């Protein structure tokens, strides 16, 4: 009777270890989730200093800084609001005669932050970031009194 019980315990222990070792074969590895960046949208604007208008190199550099920032804002607006594409084609006698495309971006970008602003050789680069979670906490972009609007003369930067 002692021999039968010892075989039974041995058989139970053997089956249990086989079944439990089989579970470890299918165990999934724990993968750590990467830290999510606080900025949901990041845009980069570029402008060359030599292409800018200005009497001195300093003024050309300041214009390149402005132009790269405007380009970054434009790219940010494209990411947030999208780009309106218009296309026009004309065909005559089964041949493509005219093919044109235009793009348009329209939107208000508030709460963007300059992450980096630097130059490499003749190129000025501005990186902007936009955290959409902070938008509800920003003040309204509308002016109460139109006399508060500062008028800046129009200039083409590039």
For 34-90, the pLDDT digits (tens) are 444 566 889 999 999 999 988 998 999 999 999 999 999 999 999 888 888 899 999
pLDDT of residue 74: 93
CA atoms within 13 A on the CB side of 155: 14
The larger pLDDT score, comparing residue 144 to residue 126, is at 126
pLDDT digit string, tens, across residues 95-112: 888 889 998 888 888 888
Look at residue 16 in the predicted model and tell me its pLDDT: 60
Cα dihedral 141, 146, 151, 155, rounded to 10, equals 60
Exposure string over 23-62, b if 16+ CB within 10 A, otherwise e = eeeeeeeeeeeeeeeebebbbebbbbbeebeeeeeeebbb
Q: Is the pLDDT of residue 126 over 70?
A: yes
Three-state SS at 99: strand
The dihedral of CA 80, 43, 133, 66: what is its sign?
Answer: negative
pLDDT at 1 over 70: no
User: Helix, strand, or coil here: 148?
Assistant: helix
DSSP 135: G
**pLDDT grade for 132, boundaries at 50, 70 and 90:** confident
pTM value surpassing 0.85: no
């Amino acid at each position: 009777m002692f021999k039968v019980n010892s075989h039974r315990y041995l058989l139970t222990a053997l089956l249990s270890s086989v079944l439990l070792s089989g579970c470890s074969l299918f165990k999934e590895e724990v993968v750590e989730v990467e830290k999510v960046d606080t900025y949901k949208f990041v845009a980069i604007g570029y402008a060359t200093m030599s292409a800018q208008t200005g009497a001195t190199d300093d003024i050309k550099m300041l214009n390149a800084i402005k132009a790269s920032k405007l380009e970054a804002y434009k790219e940010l607006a494209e990411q947030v609001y999208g780009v309106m594409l218009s296309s026009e084609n004309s065909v005559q006698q089964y041949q493509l005669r005219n093919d044109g495309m235009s793009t348009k971006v329209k939107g208000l970008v508030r709460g963007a932050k300059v992450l980096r602003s630097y130059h490499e050789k003749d190129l000025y680069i501005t990186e902007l970031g936009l955290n959409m979670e902070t938008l509800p906490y920003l003040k309204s972009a509308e002016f109460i009194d139109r006399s508060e609007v500062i008028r800046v003369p129009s200039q083409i930067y590039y």
